[in-house]
Structures are given as C-alpha cells and as structure tokens.
Structure 1
Amino acid sequence: MHDYRTYLFNISICSFFHDVVISIFWRPVSLFPNTICMNTGLVHYFGSDYAHFGVSIGIVYRVVSLMDKKNLHFLQSKYGMLLICIFQFVPPLVLMTMLMVAAVPAESLKEKALAKYPQLAPIFESESVFGYDSEINAWINVILVLGTILIMVVIPSTELLCYLISSRQLKAVRQHISAHTYQLNRNLIIVLFIQVTLPNVMILAPAVIVVILVWQDVPFTNIMLEATFLSCSFHSVIDNLIMLIAITPYRRSLKHMIFGRTFNSNFDEAVRNNSKLCLDKQTSLMPKI
C-alpha cells in the first residue's frame, strides 16, 4: 500500500508540473495557416527558442504516466532511475530538437502575420513569439507527417492489439474461473478499450483532420475547427459517463443516488446477509468475559 501511494504521489507531482508549465509558460495563438505561441511566463526572458520546453514537457508527463506499479521496485533502483531519466529526457530532447529545427524566426512570422492581422503588432513588440511556417521552413511538414502516422496508425493499432491479446488471454482461462468473474473481467477490458480509444476519436483524430484541412487550404475549415473544440470539450464528460454506466458498482451507486434505491434487490439482500454473517462470526470469536 505504501508503494502504491508513492506511485500515485509521483504521478500527481508530474501532472501538477505539466499543468503549470502548459498553463503559464506558453499559450498557443491560432493564425491559420500559420501558428504562433506567445510566452507568458518566465521562459520569455530567455528568448523564443527556449519556449519549446513548454511544448515538449508534456511528453515527460505522458511517459511517466505509463509507469506500472509492479515495476515500481525496479524503477526505484539505480538502474531503474537511469531508465526513468532516459525515458523522461530523451523523447522531449528529440522533440525539442525537431521543433527547433522546424522553427521560423520571429521576424519572418511578424511580416506575414502583420500583413494579414495588423492588430497583432503589440504582441510581436511586447511578447516573445515563436512559431512555424511550412513555406519558410519545410521541416514542419515532416513532423506533421510523422505525427499523423503515429496518431492515426501506430497508436490505434497498438490499442487494438492490446485489446485482442487481453481478450484472448481471458478466454484461455475461462474454464478455470467462474462465469461472474469472466463477465466482470470482460466488461472491464471493454470499458478500458473504450476509454483508451475515446481520446483518439474525440481529440487526436479531429485535431489531425483540422491540420490536414488547413494544410490543403480546404474552405470552411472553421466549421471543422469548431466541431473539434466541442468534441475536445465533451470528451471528459463522455469518458466519465461511460465509466459510470459500464462499471457495475458505479452504475449501482448512480442508480441509488438518483432513485434512492438499487434495482437489484437480491444483490442488496446478499450483501446485508453476508455483512450480518461476518458480524456474527466476529462476535462469536470474541473472548467471553
């Protein structure tokens, strides 16, 4: 239990650090087909290049979130700490290097942006701005293609493969477990697959589609952009709704909160009888005075 609390504490610290960096250090400003980011934190005192740290730090949080409790003892050893450092710092450094190679000088962005949006002149004068432009530096196109393949092909394929492997392993032990346990684990696998796949459908895929539409100068892209914002906003609501409906204890608790009682009276009676039986056993085992 102590190890599990330590694991949750590490995740909480990384999550807090990620949220602070993303919300304070930099803020994106969408100027399609150009994209700039305005530094609003301490990073802007060090110049625009260092602001890519705010973009890449999110990878650290995502990598740390993949840690499993069973590997915690190994990760606390010196070799485990070395492995953590590699996984935490190598991907952000690679991403930061790619973004810095694809970056465009602020002066070039200023000329193109002010020609279309002259009202942004105060931002370029008072803030440290960095961004990307595929016409000036084509490396951003390579990053977009790699990101599209990763998001649309690699990640969904990995999730589907994990789902199939888990389902196959569960079917292999079906004869050795009860029907209730099998159904419980089967529902859990389905819920986890939906919760893992949902961000791809409601966040990643729409965002990639918007980028592709903007890249190809497709008209009425703003409609898809608004739909993407709505989809991202509703993701957490739908995710929690699926969890409340699909997981049996949560569903029964929700029914009890709404209707004041559960619909499975046999289950409630069994729980009460089991609790009473346990209490009688504890009472009988108490020493008599």
Structure 2
Amino acid sequence: MKNTKMKKFLVVVLSAALVAGLAAGCGSKEDGKEEDKGSSAKTAKVIDVDLTNEEYAFGIDKDQPELVEQVNAFIKEVKEDGTLDEICDKYFGGGEPAAVESAKLDESKDQLVVATNAAFEPFEYTKGDKYVGIDMELAALLAEKLGKELVIQNMDFDAVCLSVGQHKCDIAIAGLTVNDERKQYVTFSDTYYQASQRLIVPSDDDTFDDLKDADAVAAKLGELKKEDKIGVQQGTTAQSYIEGDEAFGFEGLPATCQPYKSGSLAVQDMLNGNIKYVIIDAAPATAITEAINAMQ
C-alpha cells in the first residue's frame, strides 16, 4: 500500500513537472517570437529621382564687395585645378575627410568668420570638437588663401544668412541653394555645386519604386492628404518644395510640412512612425540613410 501510494505520488509529481516544463517551453517560444518581432528594426531608403535642380553658392556680406571678388576667384581656381573634385571624392568615393578646427572669435585678429549649420552631412557636420565636410574643407582653404584665421559659427540653418546680413559673420557656407529670399541678406558667390532634393521613405514602402522621373513622383506625392506629414530640415529648399514657393516655381503639396533641426531627426521620426516621408538634399539623404540604417 505504501509503495502504491508512493508510485501515485511520483506520477503526480512527474506529471506536474512535465506540464510545468511544457508551459515553460511554450512561454519561452512565445517570448522568443516577441523578441524577434521587437528586434526587426526599420530602415529607410532614398528614391533615386531628382525632384529639383539647384545650385549651391556661398552667401557673402553685402558690405564686403572685395570679399565677393576674392571668393569668386577662389571658386574658379578650385574648380579648374581639380581641388573641388578631390574634396568631393573624399566624401563620395570613400576617401579620408580632413577635420577642420575653428579658432575662437577675436575681433583683434584678422579672421574669416563663417556661418554654417553643422548638421548637413556630407557638407558640414562635426566630429568631436572639429568640423568635417566638403564646405568646411573649402572654408579652411579659403581662409588660408586669404591669409586669415578661420572661425566657424555653428547655428540653426535658417539663421545662417541672417547672421551674415546682420554683419555678425563674413560669409555663409552651408550648402546654400541660391534663391531670391536669401538674396535679401547676402550677395551670392558664383555657384560651386549642383544639387537636388530627394525623397526618403521606409524601406518597406514600395509606393515610388516603379516611378522614374520627378513629375511621376510629384504626382504621387500630390495624392497625399493634409494629415500626412513630410519631414524636412527647417529652412531648406525641401520646405519650400512642400509648402510652395513662387520664386522656386514650386506649387506645393497637400501634405503637411514638418520641420526639424536636422535631416537625421526627421528620418528617425519617420522610422518611429510619426511622419510619412522625408525630403532633403540628395547627398545628405544618402549619408543620413546609410548612417541610420547601419545603426539598426
């Protein structure tokens, strides 16, 4: 009788253990599914269609006509001798960018004070306490050419031209597209770079995959509604493209424009599901998506 009771007891214990084990196994499997689901981070892609055609130039203090002449001579020189191409190749061809240091502002010294927005890779961005980018390397060469000490003032993009117009800085070097509004504050140099706007979408969005030209992409964007949000870097051409701008010839889009301090913040917010798309200049679009996708 005692053995029978013991056997029954062991059967009950083993059965309970088996049930517990199966339950734990099922729980682990389910947890694994949840973990896999959570680990599938979203990525972004750039639609390979130029929405606009633009040109970058430097914005110079209107009260410094001599500087305008010097800058135009400098731009002509770096374009003709291949220096500009060499700098661009560092950022588009896998070369090694050169970090640029900024001196402290000192009115007693002969300085070239440059206004920029260092959130526009590959044209201007920061690494530690140094500046990097196509524009920053050009700024360093320009200061050297003029025999001046370089001072870089980093600020919001929509304050760049204003600071030059208020004579707080000598020149704006910040991936500036030439337009009439900015001409109120600065004298533009000769152009040095051809640019365009491009659309960034989540990688799993196939809406634009088969569209091959700007008109087709614009038509599809025209189907959006006001509640749809498109992110931009504040004050850039993309904002004018969405909101409409007669000077640029942009009719605007029905979607709502959502400005950010940087394109990176806009793309991250898109991947977080808070906005639908992002529009930004082509080169930064590629740099931003590659950097963010690498972190996912």
TM-score range, shorter chain: under 0.3
TM-score, with normalisation over the residues of structure 1?
0.22
Q: Which has the higher contact order (CA 8 A, sep 6+)?
A: 2
TM-score, with normalisation over the residues of structure 2?
0.21
More strand by share: 2
More helix by share: 1
Larger radius of gyration between Structure 1 and Structure 2: 2
